[in-house]
C-alpha cells in the first residue's frame, strides 16, 4: 500500500483500531491485538514469513514498541558486537 494510502487508512475511523507504526494492508485477514490496537499477524502466509529469515535477510522490527536510532562513528562496532556476523558494507551515520 502506498504511504499516502496507509496514512489515509490510519486517519480514518476504522472499526478496528490499527497500530500507527505497523504497515497496513486492507487485504489482510488475520490480525492480532497488541494492547489497545491491532496489527496484521501475517501479510503473505505463515510458511513464507517463517522461512524469510532463512531465504533472505532483514533488519527490522514491525512491532509498535519504542524505536531507537543509533548514530556515530562506533555504531558499526556496536552492531557487530551485538550480532554474530560482521557488517562489511554498513556505513556509519
* Cell digits of residue 5: 494510502
C-alpha triplet 38, 44, 47: angle, nearest 5°: 110
Q: At residue 86, does pLDDT exceed 60?
A: yes
pLDDT score of 93 = 62
Judged on CB neighbours under 10 Å (0-12, 13-18, 19+), 19 is: buried
Q: Please provide residue 37's backbone torsions phi and psi, each rounded to the nearest 5 degrees.
A: -125, 170
Q: How confident is the model at residue 1 (pLDDT cuts 50, 70, 90)?
A: very low
pLDDT score of 2 = 47
Q: How confident is the model at residue 11 (pLDDT cuts 50, 70, 90)?
A: low
Give the separation between CA 4 and CA 48, rounded to whole angstroms: 27
pLDDT tens digits, residue range 33-69?
878 888 787 878 888 877 877 788 766 666 666 677 8
pLDDT score of 20 = 75
| Residue pair 46/28 in contact by the 8 Å Cβ criterion | no
* Cell digits of residue 77: 562496532
Amino acid at each position: 500500500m502506498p504511504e499516502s494510502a496507509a496514512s489515509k487508512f490510519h486517519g480514518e475511523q476504522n472499526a478496528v483500531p490499527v497500530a500507527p507504526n505497523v504497515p497496513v494492508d486492507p487485504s489482510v485477514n488475520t490480525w492480532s491485538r497488541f494492547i489497545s490496537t491491532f496489527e496484521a499477524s501475517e501479510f503473505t502466509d505463515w510458511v513464507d514469513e517463517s522461512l524469510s529469515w532463512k531465504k533472505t535477510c532483514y533488519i527490522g522490527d514491525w512491532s509498535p514498541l519504542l524505536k531507537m536510532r543509533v548514530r556515530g562513528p562506533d555504531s558499526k562496532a556496536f552492531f557487530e558486537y551485538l550480532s554474530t556476523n560482521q557488517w562489511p558494507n554498513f556505513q556509519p551515520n
